[in-house]
Amino acid sequence: MATQPTVEELARRVADGLRGEFRSRLREELLRQPVEWLADELLARLPDDPTVPGPRPSREPRPAESDEDRSGRLHRIRSWQLDHAALDERVTRLTSWTRDRLEAEGLLRTPPPKGGPLIAPSHRSPAGEDLLREAKDLLYALLFGEPADGVVLDRVQRELLTLTLPRDKAHTVAFMLRAATEIGAVGTWQDPAGRANDERAPNLLFQIEYGEIADELVGRGIAACLRLVNDLEVNEQVLYGRMENVEESTLT
């Protein structure tokens, strides 16, 4: 008797299909371009010193969230009973935290400058650790939460979150990776002050579909969570994220 696949397995199948379609369509588009343009584009991506190879994407397996971590996350989310009112309160509270406030109130302790390495646990107080965990839990609930998980929201339309992260920092949101479409990307942002460029840095671009509610509070919550995760751990100068409608039809 065939075993019914899990939601995660179905999501991985869809993501694998989308990755294949993306590569196929990109190849078709590239083949239509002038050879001279392709040559110029490739040369522009070489390092200034051609004898020094540029950064190459890591081929290490993506770290997966353990079953124990996922179980603990779902237990915490269920205890919230996250309806619209509860979500509104959390989003308002999380939005009030800024990087300056985190440092001023001691949740961040002498962290590395923005654009530098990950912020290690040693630079966070216990309250900072709790706030980071809450932001990640809420992000999971908004992207994947269902009534069975204690997330009771009237989701009326489909949205697509597109998020760009440095490859070596993507493990900070490991719970997002199992349901994301992953596309390789190269950083192009340059810091005007010259301290933290991501030009030619290996990045990963993730795309995740989620359900939005009528007043777009889910999207505002996702933005608040991502900003806190960046301020407390990822530590990028700019964390690129975009949310957009997938289709006009309603969820059924």
* Lookup result for tokens 């890591």: 58
DSSP alpha helices (H): ranges in the chain? Answer: 7-31, 35-44, 67-80, 84-95, 99-104, 126-144, 174-177, 217-229
Q: Which of 151, 1, 136, 164 is nearest to 72 (CA)?
A: 136
pLDDT computed for residue 187 by the predictor: 42
Contact 212/155 with Cβ under 8 angstroms?
yes
pLDDT computed for residue 192 by the predictor: 42
pLDDT computed for residue 3 by the predictor: 64
Q: How many CA atoms lie within 13 A of 35 on its CB side?
A: 0
Amino acid, single-letter form, for residue 225: C
pLDDT computed for residue 199 by the predictor: 47
pLDDT computed for residue 95 by the predictor: 97
pLDDT computed for residue 59 by the predictor: 42
pLDDT computed for residue 58 by the predictor: 42
pLDDT computed for residue 45 by the predictor: 64
Which ranges of the chain have pLDDT less than 50? 51-62, 185-200, 249-252
pLDDT computed for residue 189 by the predictor: 38
Task: Specify burial of residue 129 (Cβ count, 10 A radius: 0-12, 13-18, 19+).
Answer: middle
pLDDT computed for residue 60 by the predictor: 45
H or E element: which one contains 209?
strand 202-212
